[in-house]
Amino acid sequence: MKSLFSDKCVLRYQQRINRLRGFTLVFLTLLLTPISLVLYKGYTQFEQDLLTEYQNKTQEITSQLNLRLFKRIVFDNALSTREFDHYQHIYNPNNKQISRVPSPLANPNYHTRFTGLIGYFQLDKEGNFNSPVWPHTIKSSERLISPQDDKEMRERKKIALNLYNITAKSNELKTLIDHNLSANNEKFLLLSDVAGYLIFYRIVSVNDKKQLQGYIIDVEAYLNEQIANTLKTVLFKNTIAVTVAPNRTNADNVYLIYKSNPQGTSSITSTKHLDDQLTQQVLNSHALRWPFKDYKLTYSTSQLILPLAATYSLGLMALLVLGIVLGCYGFYHLGVKQLRLAEQRLNFVSSVSHELKTPLTSIRMYSEMLKSGMVPSEEYKLEYYEFIHCESERLSRLIDNILQLSKLSQPQHTVEPQYTKLSILIDIIHSKVSSLVVKNAFQLDMLNDFNDPDNVLVLVDLDAFSQVVINITDNAVKFFDHDTIQDKARQKIDFIFKVDPKNKDQLCMEIRDYGDGISAEQQSKIFELFYRGGSELTRSTQGTGIGLALVNELVSAQQGTIQVERMSPGLSMKVCFKYKTL
């Protein structure tokens, strides 16, 4: 960490990369840590708010359900004691007569007016059973229903018989009868000793006779219906499971599944088995009030689905985090490129210094020898003069490249392409590269697909065109490895002029050598400024890494294109320019 923030100048490239990487990681950590905490806290807060909202809704459902159940009991307390007989005697003040009419409870439909209601019944002190739906006392369930009964009669007898069988199972009712119905309560009380049923009863006096009046509810059917109706009054986005659990050990749980739809309505289904996915998040658990205090409701759901606004907020924060990560990566990548460029510039300075110093030293040495008269032989003098001339040309090419690159980096460069005859360009190639080719024992082949080069006009700048040809040829000669390539036939360079097969408006000049070629990695970087293949420590060839970068810039300035293609053997440079014919 101390070296990371040190002011000491670091010269090694890898150390600078490590320092940049360290700075980037520290900066990214400092940015991401608070944002990640905010994102995490925001998500948990949204989730907690949604959980609290759902818990409040489940509390509201339970409260509404208890209120519904209580109202049901209050409503039944208003039933007249005389309505539990099959017939009622009603006095008509107009004619001063008493008429006998069926009780409202005698209607079978009244016994099924809400789900879960089994029906109404009445018992006297002797235990005689009767129901408003059937005018006679029932003492036994045998042979009550006969084949001769019509549909209505059969329905009435089934209701009465079902009520009779359920009351017969209640030991608490028998105890009340054994005590001669000594209690006196006008409000309905509750008996729950018959599994699956609730028996509401009251002991009243009817015509000075003690009667036990009551009604029976199927708990599961009644509760399921009431819970389902209450659930529909509240809207959930998640699928909600409501577990109705009785306290009795031998009773099974009942599960109600709430599902909402995009239209804003909901559907309630009942099942005996609950998917484990709907128990991932328990929302709330409430015990019902009297008379259903032996039942408990448990609300659960799957993973909570956040509201759309929360999802958008978290999504924007996630995009912010992603943007920061990408920004830091871009910053790091840009920094690496700048450090690599700085390293390449440093190598360039070293290479230029070497490229300038070596020929200058040789020129100075041979010129001093010639000046001092140490070379008496005319043959050697001519050889030394030729060497000084060649080294001077190499220096000129290097200086021209540097100056041309400097000009191209300016906003206003001097490349002005004009239409020039192809024959003139061929002559320029011969004049510019012949000496270089001959000196290195290379062969120059010129191939032309045009019958009359004088009628072909190519859009080029003559100076820029010459520079392109010289640089590419110099590279081909310079990187030909004489130690590994023994075939003398490969010491040649081909210049091929033809129409671009992909664009008939362009003329392609293909410069082909037969050296070792380049790798795929070198092919992708060959036109980068200061790029030179291989290691700086083991490099045996001369060069500054600006030649082909300059070629690429000069071709673009002439409205042309350049492509490099790996051949077997060697390499092909395809330079295309606009052209026209006379």
Give pLDDT tens digits for 382-428: 877 777 877 787 777 777 766 666 665 554 457 889 999 999 999 99
Coarse DSSP helix, strand, coil percentages of the chain, rounded to the nearest 5 percent: 45, 25, 30
* Cα 529 off chain centre by: 39
| Ordered per-residue pLDDT tens for the chain, 582 residues | 445 445 455 456 677 777 888 888 888 888 888 888 888 888 888 888 888 888 898 899 889 988 888 887 778 888 888 889 888 877 777 777 778 888 888 888 887 788 889 999 999 988 899 999 988 888 877 777 777 778 888 888 899 999 999 999 999 999 999 888 887 788 888 888 888 888 999 999 888 889 999 999 988 888 888 888 888 888 888 888 888 888 766 667 888 888 887 776 778 888 888 888 888 888 889 888 877 887 888 999 888 777 777 777 778 888 888 888 888 888 888 878 877 777 766 666 666 665 666 677 777 887 877 778 777 777 777 877 777 877 787 777 777 766 666 665 554 457 889 999 999 999 999 988 888 888 888 999 998 888 888 999 999 999 889 989 988 998 888 888 888 888 888 999 999 999 998 888 999 999 999 988 888 888 888 887 767 665 444 444 555 667 788 888 889 888 899 999 998 888 999 999 999 988
What sign results for the dihedral spanned by CA atoms 28, 33, 37, 40? positive
pLDDT score at 212:
93
DSSP state of 458: E
Q: Are 260 and 235 in contact (CB under 8 A)?
A: yes
Phi, psi for residue 133 in degrees, rounded to 5: -80, -15
Q: Are 125 and 138 in contact (CB under 8 A)?
A: no
What sign results for the dihedral spanned by CA atoms 165, 166, 169, 175? negative
d(CA 85, CA 81) in angstroms, rounded, equals: 8
d(CA 53, CA 268) in angstroms, rounded, equals: 21
Q: What are the residue boundaries of the structural domains of the chain, listed by start? A: 79-220, 415-581
Write the DSSP assignment of 237-262 as a string of letters.
SS-EEEEEEES-TTPPPEEEEEEE-T
Tokens standing for residue 84: 């539990």
Strand partners, 190: 200
Q: Are 205 and 155 in contact (CB under 8 A)?
A: no
d(CA 518, CA 238) in angstroms, rounded, equals: 63
- CA separation, residue 362 to residues 43, 117, 356, 380, 544 (Å): 75, 119, 10, 15, 19
Strand partners, 446: 495
Pairing of strands 97-102, 117-124: unpaired
- CA separation, residue 152 to residues 133, 142, 148 (Å): 10, 19, 12
Q: 242-277 as b/e, with b when 16 or more CB fall inside 10 Å? A: bbbbbeeeebeebbbbbebeeeeebebebeeebeee
Cis preceding-peptide flag for 291 (omega within 30 of 0): yes
CA atoms within 13 A on the CB side of 24: 19
Strand partners, 512: 494, 572
d(CA 460, CA 371) in angstroms, rounded, equals: 44
Q: Are 218 and 200 in contact (CB under 8 A)?
A: no
User: What CATH number belongs to 415-581?
Assistant: 3.30.565.10
Hey, what amino acid is at 185? N
Classified as helix, coil or strand, 133 is coil
pLDDT score at 534:
52
pLDDT score at 425:
92
pLDDT score at 129:
92
Q: Are 558 and 460 in contact (CB under 8 A)?
A: yes
DSSP state of 83: G
Pairing of strands 561-566, 571-581: antiparallel
Global confidence as pTM? 0.51
Task: Give residue for tokens 């129409």.
Answer: 499
